[in-house]
Amino acid sequence: MVLSSIEQNYPWLPKFYPWRSDTTERRWNILVMCKLLLVILILNGFIWKIGDPYIPHLSFLDMFQDFPGTYKTAMRVAFAIPAGFLLINYKPRLMCFILGIAIILILLASKSIFRNHIFICACVFLMSSIYKKGDIPRLIFIQLGIVYIGAAVNKLFHVDWWNGLYMHNWMGILMENKPYLLIFNKTENLVFAQALSWFSMFLEVVIGIFLFTKRFRNTAVYLIVFFHLVLFTVTMQRFGHFFDDIVIILIAFVTKESVPMQVYAKGGWYSLSMWIKKLFDWNQKITIKNTNSESSEAGLLVSTDTHEYRNLGAVTHLLFSSGGFFIIFFFLDYFLQLFVGHPVEHYILSVVYWGMLIVFVLGKQSIKESSYSFQS
């Protein structure tokens, strides 16, 4: 009520709400993706890791050693100001461009803080700054394809990846991974380690190639989710926040334009759709009509200007067309990491992630007569 009265006096205010993602000149899903990548950098304390150049990748940056604190202060400001403006939806394309440049300069200034997954985030910020609302972010697709092809090529020329020694040393000796050690002790050879290594290399090559092709891009997204879920389940590792970054970047693929949706629901489907609207419809695009008194084959029907989705397919469409769903799920995941012990958090999230994948695949099967798909 208080918020509504404020909005009546200041009708321009809603477009600056951090949780709104449909009030700017860019696709709402790209804005959600960029905000979540920014939030994960902030939550991992990236701004406090920014310092003066130390063994920089670019030698000319050593000149700042004569002015202690100058580079650190400048880069923290260059990160913090566009970050704040991006969160309130002010000129998000420009802010993403500045953030991308700033993060790259920060990483190049110090080898000690350079991380591949942070560099990937910086590139995504830069690529996303190019696109307006209605544009398909193909450069992000290409960038992700290069990431997987590069990862595969890096492994293909190392013999330890072919004979399984790298995987064995990492999972068996360094990580002391219990499921791996159980299988290794049963077989007393490196067959399982070789299988994991070959599986990783093969899937990375396939994913990379598929991301470059419009026809197989949908399949690539499923393979990415499957691949990283297997890695997360087996290794119990997020590899910094690489796992989180990849999942967030996939938001650029999964969703379409945020358009008004008319929902017709009855019985339990009506309660479920109302719950989804209250919890996730932050862009206020969903209108629900109770059809208990009407005869209808579908318990839940979602209608847009171009498509119709039924039952489980309608649920997946409502969820994956909502910025609120991605944002809430991100913070639930983060708080589980923060407040729950590592093994328990891992088991809970593994079940949740696999469950979501199964629900989404089943939902896709129920709407395959429509053209709902990943962006291409």
CA distance 340 to 361: 29
Report the pLDDT value the prediction gives residue 208, as an integer from 0 to 100: 93
Q: Angle 28-43/92-108 helices, nearest 10 degrees?
A: 40
Residue with tokens 């000319």: 60
Is the pLDDT at 146 greater than 70? The verdict is yes
Report the pLDDT value the prediction gives residue 41, as an integer from 0 to 100: 93
Is the pLDDT at 4 greater than 90? The verdict is no
Is the pLDDT at 346 greater than 80? The verdict is no
Report the pLDDT value the prediction gives residue 369, as an integer from 0 to 100: 41
pLDDT in tens, 206-231: 999 999 988 888 888 888 988 888 88
pLDDT in tens, 161-212: 999 898 888 888 887 878 788 888 888 788 888 988 998 899 999 999 999 9
As a whole-number percent, the residues of the chain with pLDDT over 70 amount to 83
Report the pLDDT value the prediction gives residue 295, as an integer from 0 to 100: 56
Report the pLDDT value the prediction gives residue 22, as an integer from 0 to 100: 67
pLDDT in tens, 5-20: 555 555 556 666 676 7
Distances (CA, A) of 239 to 70, 144, 171, 199, 246: 32, 17, 13, 18, 11
Alpha helices (H) in 21-130, listed in sequence order: 28-43, 46-49, 70-87, 92-108, 116-128
CA distance 82 to 92: 9
pLDDT band at 85 (very low <50, low <70, confident <90, very high): very high
Across residues 114-139, what is the average pLDDT? 87
pLDDT in tens, 40-69: 999 988 998 888 888 787 788 888 888 888
Is the pLDDT at 366 greater than 60? The verdict is no
Return the top range by mean pLDDT from 113-117, 199-203, 256-260, 307-311: 199-203
| pLDDT greater at residue 323 or residue 343 | 323
